Structures are given as structure tokens and as C-alpha cells.
């Protein structure tokens, strides 16, 4: 989310009025909004988490790009304890957890204000059992729970945020069992220096909380966060404004299409390394223009080829993979794209090498990424609106010698002892190959 969304979400004056009202939530409501745990017990849990646990160094918190499912694009604020439990069950039952999608990310509009001790609390209607009970359920399924806040007084949707309450909120998140914080930057100053300070304040607070909590820096790529994310304690940095469910932006209202984000990320990829990942925003695979934030600002939907390209390039460029479609209602195409273990393996490769764009023409782009095991991944993206016949000589990409070539979307070896590939690439399609060098009997 970003500041450009605010006008379409809520009237300018209403969020402040609502937030001020919620700041004065009576004490007797607190227990209902904190998992039915006695007030003294919940505060003790916060204190215990702060006092006894030891956290992992922040640069080791996200050794590979996080993978999971996020609430925002499809459901916006129409979220609840029941919905999220259903999604958790669907992810476990449909093989997503086994494939590596082990996070549930709760985005904006979960908040219920603050209690009379200024502890942030969830909306008691949406989350009648509190967040801790939900986190316990998520953890029981072998998954992790992420939550959302903002480095200002109000979030993008005008809800209670964390500026000035960083340590208190971090202790609360830790006591609930939160594993990830998406930290937005709506209603905050434009300069980079302030952003660095505010993100570092929250990162330091998370480290003091006594629980390992990954921090996603979500300032939409306007302040060069790729240069200071690690120094400020973050593990991933947003590259752009919000993704929309479209191939590319043609309406020029501020939305970002799949191709737009690829082109923004390509020159930033050099900053990718262990524990520092370019957040290209959510996957829109399977949305097909459904109403929700991703349908705003020109989000008319994509075809399956374009959705497959999003998956291909998010994996090549080592972005976090946050699905936003309805996991309870999967199509065969959703499964084929989102559960492709071979392309996911590229995303999660332990070498963590950045992908390099080595060819960029009017019709196509070619990316090369070094993988573990002396292998390389190649992505050939046709960004034009016509079929393109392409001949790629591996040596011209910096890959000398002969290679065995595997097509990760066809799941088959297509060439042996080859020095080039030649073929047709459909409009907006991305071919992805893994090259293994010949030799030693291979």
C-alpha cells in the first residue's frame, strides 16, 4: 500500500477521528481484544518475551526470500480470524506449505486501536479471540504469522500505527507470536533520512522484543531503500508502488503492472544477497481482475501467460513470493504456476546470487542467475506484443562451454551438450531454463 491509495480508501478526515476514538477504548474491552487472556497475564507475557528470549542477528533472519499468502489484494479490510484459519487450512491441504509457502501475512485494517495502557489491540469483531490465539493456530500448522503496521501515526487505511510506540508494539507483537512485520510508510515525511531513522527504530525495537521478527521495509522504492535496508535492520525492501493486476501500466494513474516492476527491479538486482531481498510486491496470479485493491488504477486482470511470467521473474529476481488469490478456490492453472517446484527452487537457491539482465532489446530481455551446484538459470522474456524467434548463444551471455538444458515449465530436459538455444517465445511469455555444465560424464 502507498499514500496514493489513501484517497480511494477513506475520506481524509474520518481516519483521524476514528483513530482518536479508538485511542480511548475503555479498559473493559481490552480482554475481549487480547485472545480472552486476562489483562495481567497478557502484560506478563509481553514482559517475559522481552526479558528472557534472545534474538537472531537481523542479517540472518531471512536466509531465503519469504514465501506465503497475503490478505490485501483480494480481501482488503474484509478479514477475520475465521478467514485466515480457512486459508491456513487450504494452504496446508493443497501442498503450499510443503512447497515452501509458510507465511500468512495479515495486511492493513486488522487494528482495533489502543487500550487504556496504549497497547495496540486487534479489532475485536474481526479477531474475537485475539491475535495470539490465531498465531498459535498458524504455528500448529507449521507456518508463521506476519502482521502490518506503519512508520507514522496512521496507516495507509487510516488505522492505528506505530510511530512513537515502536518498543511497546514490538513487545506486543512478540507476545502474540508474530514472525514478520510489514512496515509501511504512508503519512510519513518524503525524505530518506527520516525513513532510515524510523525503520531503524522499529528494527531495534523488534530485536529488543526477544523474538525473531523479520522486518519488511515498505517505502515503495522512492528513497533508495536497497542502499540502507540492511543498515536500518530490514531484510527486504520494496522496489515500487503497489502492484496491480495488469501486464503494464497504460492508464498512468500510479499503478504498477508486472512488466513495470520487472523493469524497475532489474537495475537494483545487484543489491540482492543473503538476507537482503528485493520485494517486488504481491503475486497477482489467479486474480483475473477480481475486485479489490489490485483491480484499482488500471488493474483489469492478466492472462495465464502473463501470470506465469510474473512467477518466473519474481523467482529469477529473488523476490518474496506472497500469493493473494483465494487458496480455497484453486484452478488447475493456479496450481501449475504457484506450485512449480523447479521455478521455486530458483527463487530459494542457497547461493543467493542476483540475476543480471544481460540483453534488453525492443522485443525481449534475457536474464542470467548463478545457482548452486555450478548451474545457471536463464530467463528469456518477450515483452513485446508479437511472437519472437530468438537464438541465444550461451557464450554471449558469459557462459562458455557446453550445457545440458532443462525447461523448468515443461519439466523436461530439452538439450544436451548445447552451446545455444533457439526457439519461439510468445507475447509476454518467459522461458526459464536451468543450465548444467557438461563434463565429468554429464
Spell out the per-residue pLDDT of the chain, length 442, in tens: 544 444 444 433 334 434 443 443 434 333 333 434 334 334 534 444 444 456 899 999 999 999 999 999 999 999 999 999 999 999 999 999 999 999 999 999 999 999 999 999 999 999 999 999 999 999 999 999 999 999 999 999 999 999 999 999 999 999 999 999 999 999 999 999 999 999 999 999 999 999 999 999 999 999 999 999 999 999 999 999 999 999 999 999 999 999 999 999 999 999 999 999 999 999 999 999 999 999 999 999 999 999 999 999 999 999 999 999 999 999 999 999 999 999 999 999 999 999 999 999 999 999 999 999 999 999 999 999 999 999 999 999 999 999 999 999 999 999 999 999 999 999 999 999 999 999 754 5
Residues with Cβ within 8 Å of 228's Cβ and at least 6 positions away in sequence, in order, are 192, 196
Phi-psi region of 134 (alpha: psi -120 to 50; beta: other; left: phi over 0): alpha
CA dihedral 360, 334, 220, 274 (to 10 degrees): -80
Instruction: Please compute Rg for the chain using Cα positions.
Output: 22
Catalytic-role residue among 115, 212, 242, 349: 242
CA distance linking residue 35 with residue 160, whole number of Å = 19
User: Taking the model in full, what pTM does it have?
Assistant: 0.90
Helix (H) or strand (E) holding 40: helix 39-52
CA distance linking residue 257 with residue 285, whole number of Å = 12
Catalytic-role residue among 115, 123, 184, 349: 184
Based on the residue annotation, tell me whether 242 is a catalytic residue of this protein.
yes
CA distance linking residue 237 with residue 22, whole number of Å = 31
Give the residue among 425, 415, 359, 414 at the shortest CA–CA distance from 390.
425
Beta strands in 88-198 (DSSP E): 103-105, 111-114, 120-122, 144-150, 180-184
Name the burial class of residue 439, with classes exposed (0-12), middle (13-18) and buried (19+) by CB atoms within 10 angstroms of its CB. exposed
Based on the residue annotation, tell me whether 123 is a catalytic residue of this protein.
no
Amino acid at each position: 500500500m502507498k499514500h496514493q491509495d489513501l484517497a480511494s480508501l477513506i475520506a481524509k478526515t474520518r481516519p483521524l477521528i476514528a483513530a482518536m476514538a479508538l485511542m480511548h477504548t475503555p479498559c473493559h474491552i481490552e480482554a475481549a481484544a487480547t485472545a480472552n487472556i486476562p489483562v495481567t497475564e497478557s502484560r506478563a507475557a509481553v514482559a517475559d518475551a522481552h526479558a528472557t528470549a534472545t534474538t537472531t542477528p537481523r542479517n540472518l533472519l531471512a536466509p531465503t526470500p519469504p514465501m506465503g499468502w497475503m490478505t490485501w489484494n483480494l480481501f482488503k479490510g474484509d478479514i477475520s480470524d475465521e478467514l485466515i484459519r480457512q486459508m491456513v487450512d487450504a494452504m496446508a491441504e493443497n501442498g503450499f506449505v510443503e512447497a515452501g509457502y509458510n507465511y500468512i501475512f495479515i495486511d492493513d485494517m486488522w487494528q482495533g486501536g489502543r487500550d487504556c495502557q496504549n497497547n495496540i489491540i486487534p479489532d475485536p469483531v474481526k479477531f474475537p479471540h485475539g491475535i495470539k490465539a490465531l498465531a498459535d493456530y498458524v504455528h500448529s500448522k507449521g507456518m508463521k504469522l506476519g502482521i502490518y503496521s506503519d512508520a507514522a501515526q496512521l496507516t495507509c487505511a487510516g488505522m492505528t500505527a506505530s510511530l512513537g510506540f515502536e518498543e511497546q508494539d514490538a513487545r506486543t507483537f512478540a507476545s502474540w507470536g508474530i514472525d514478520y512485520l510489514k512496515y509501511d510508510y504512508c503519512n510519513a515525511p518524503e525524505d530518506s533520512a527520516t525513513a532510515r531513522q524510523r525503520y531503524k527504530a522499529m528494527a531495534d525495537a523488534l530485536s529488543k522484543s526477544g523474538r525473531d521478527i523479520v522486518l519488511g521495509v515498505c517505502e515503495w522504492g522512492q528513497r533508495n531503500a536497497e542502499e540502507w535496508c540492511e543498515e536500518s535492520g530490514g531484510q527486504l525492501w520494496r522496489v515500487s508502488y503497489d502492484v496491480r493486476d495488469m501486464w503494464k501500466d497504460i492508464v498512468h494513474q500510479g499503478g504498477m503492472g508486472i512488466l513495470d516492476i520487472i523493469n524497475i527491479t532489474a537495475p537494483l538486482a545487484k543489491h540482492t544477497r543473503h538476507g537482503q531481498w528485493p520485494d517486488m510486491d504481491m503475486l497477482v496470479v489467479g486474480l483475473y481482475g477480481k475486485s479489490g485493491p489490485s483491480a484499482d488504477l488500471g488493474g483489469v486482470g492478466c492472462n495465464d501467460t502473463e501470470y506465469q511470467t510474473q512467477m518466473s521473474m519474481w523467482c529469477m529476481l529473488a523476490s518474496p513470493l506472497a500469493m493473494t488469490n483465494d487458496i480455497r478456490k484453486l484452478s488447475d492453472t493456479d496450481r501449475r504456476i504457484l506450485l512449480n517446484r523447479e521455478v521455486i527452487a530458483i527463487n530459494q537457491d542457497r547461493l543467493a546470487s542476483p540475476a543480471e539482465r544481460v540483453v534488453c532489446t525492443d522485443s525481449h530481455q534475457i536474464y542470467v542467475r548463478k545457482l548452486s551446484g555450478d548451474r545457471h538459470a536463464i530467463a528469456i522474456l518477450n515483452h513485446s506484443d508479437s511472437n519472437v524467434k530468438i537464438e541465444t548463444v550461451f557464450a554471449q551471455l558469459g557462459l562458455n562451454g557446453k550445457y545440458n538444458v532443462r525447461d523448468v515449465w515443461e519439466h523436461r530436459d530439452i538439450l544436451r551438450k548445447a552451446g545455444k538455444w533457439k526457439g519461439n517465445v510468445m507475447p509476454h511469455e518467459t522461458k526459464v531454463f536451468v543450465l548444467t555444465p557438461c563434463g565429468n560424464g554429464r
